[in-house]
Structure 1
Amino acid sequence: MALRIRKLWHLESDKILSASDMSRYCYGHSTKLHEIKLLRVFFINSSAAEIVITVDVHKAKDLLQSGHPYLEVRTEEELKKGHADAEKIVNIPYMFFKPEGRMKNPRFVEEVLAACNKDDHLVVGCQSGVRSLGATTDLVNTGFKHVFNMDGGYAAWVEKGSL
């Protein structure tokens, strides 16, 4: 599945920027598109045209402190080693580690639907942000409206001192 960057989320204004907005922003700030640092990139699945929102660990912490549940998509063993600080943590692995390699949880969306509603506001995290991006994409494509991928995962949470 090919993903194309179609829109950006401007963290300071809390708005989604279109391609023309991005060009105007870059022109006005003497910045090339590939040099943008203060904008968070969102991907749109070209077939479903849904936006995956990724937030940094500081924004994730704010969301969690305001009561958003934390959907931890690492394994239970990984969760026991540490996790983001949240009042409500739902642990549903997105991938399993098998002797033959990683395997996507075939019941992931079904398990999330059993634990959460599509209208719930969720912060999704993993170890580095890769599994949570895949999980968030699957949830958005299933119809979840308020899911936020935590950029950098638990590693960034620890690195940024969010514990």
Structure 2
Amino acid sequence: MKIGCSTEDVTKISPNKLKQILDSDREGDFVVVDVRQPEEYEQGHLPGAKLIPLDELDARYDELDKTKNIITYCRAGRRSLGAATHLCGLGFKNVYTMDGGFLEWNYKTLSGFPEEKPEFIAGNEEIDDILLTAIKLEKGSQDFYLKSMNSGEVSSDTKETLDRLARIEEKHIDKLYRRYANITDEEIPPLEVLKKELDFEYMEGGIKISKELLKNEEIFKDEIDVLETAIEKEYLSFDFYKRMAEVMSNKDTRKLLHELANEEKNHINYLINSLKQII
């Protein structure tokens, strides 16, 4: 009988491979765990990564689902290899670590500490609750783009880009509304009425819309600035949906949140391709 685990029991994957895995993970089968210190995480981390510092792993490993594929990472790959080996010893069957660590990650990162559970999320929401929340957040983003179009002196190209982004959000809202209408037992108003009734304090990603930003007469310098802002927003939305999936008790609700995260990833790819064409 095998006792304990060694580093040979942990699969090392490259940052490129991890990026491919995350891009294709539609069901939330993989959980990325950042085992660095909070100060390191705050400075920059992978979108959707859960922070469990190495020195807290013994006390918090039960926050991880043993049926999932766990991928650890740290600054250079050493701490995360130790963490993955320890998780293996604790009974986790599918454990990986990112070789080279955060230093070798050449893709998008986020900074700061996201809310673990925003105030409008309780953790026991059903699918219709999540869909309504998603509609609210998408509408907040659409309002952000539309108001930005009329804020200050923006070029015709920038206005066209903002208008295109607003129309993309409109299509997403319509898709979410139709799905919401098909599953809810309650009588719901027409979409245009519902949009007017919703409170849009938050935009996608659970981020409050800055009134000061909307009043700024020079929000965007050019079309590239618009697209970079949109890419940042969509990554925050992806991160938001991924994290919310981890706190949901209902399996179908978790699945829906992973689907929403995947749609945000599709938006990101569209925006990146648009940015490439301009550059």
Does the pair score TM above 0.5? yes
Letter matched to residue 53 of structure 2: P
Tell me the SS of whatever aligns to 2:79. helix
Instruction: Determine the structure 2 residue equivalent to 1:109.
Output: 58
Query: Structure 1 residue 47: deviation in Å?
Result: 5.0
Instruction: Determine the structure 2 residue equivalent to 1:61.
Output: 19
Instruction: Determine the structure 2 residue equivalent to 1:77.
Output: 39
Letter matched to residue 61 of structure 2: V
Q: Which string of whole-angstrom CA distances, capped at 9 and with x for unpartnered residues, describes residues 32-59 of structure 1?
A: xxxxxxxxxxxxxx95355111101111
Q: Does 1:129 align with 2:129?
A: no
Summarize the Cα distance change of 1:60–1:152 in structure 2 as closer, same or farther, 3 Å threshold.
same
Instruction: Determine the structure 1 residue equivalent to 2:4.
Output: 48
Query: Structure 1 residue 81: deviation in Å?
Result: 1.0
Gapped regions of structure 1 (runs ≥ 5): 1-45, 95-104
Paired with 1:64 and 1:75, the residues of 2 have a C-alpha distance of 23
Paired with 2:5 and 2:101, the residues of 1 have a C-alpha distance of 24
Tell me the SS of whatever aligns to 2:66. coil
| Larger proportion of helix | 2
From the CA coordinates, give the structure whose radius of gyration is larger.
2
Gapped regions of structure 2 (runs ≥ 5): 109-279
Q: Assess if the C-alpha contact under 8 Å between 2:32 and 2:72 holds in 1.
A: yes
Tell me the SS of whatever aligns to 2:70. strand
Q: Assess if the C-alpha contact under 8 Å between 2:5 and 2:88 holds in 1.
A: no
Query: Structure 1 residue 64: deviation in Å?
Result: 2.3
Paired with 1:137 and 1:48, the residues of 2 have a C-alpha distance of 9
Q: 1:91 aligns with which of 51, 58, 65?
A: 51
Tell me the SS of whatever aligns to 1:69. strand
Paired with 1:49 and 1:122, the residues of 2 have a C-alpha distance of 15
Paired with 2:53 and 2:22, the residues of 1 have a C-alpha distance of 19
Equivalent pairs counted in the alignment come to: 101
Letter matched to residue 93 of structure 1: P
Instruction: Determine the structure 2 residue equivalent to 1:162.
Output: 107
Q: 1:143 aligns with which of 91, 106, 124?
A: 91
| Larger proportion of strand | 1
Tell me the SS of whatever aligns to 2:33. strand
Please give the TM-score of this superposition, normalised by the length of structure 1: 0.56
Aligned-residue identity in percent? 32
Instruction: Determine the structure 1 residue equivalent to 2:258.
Output: none
Q: Assess if the C-alpha contact under 8 Å between 1:63 and 1:123 holds in 2.
A: no
Paired with 2:89 and 2:96, the residues of 1 have a C-alpha distance of 13
Please give the TM-score of this superposition, normalised by the length of structure 2: 0.34
CA RMSD of aligned residues (A): 1.8
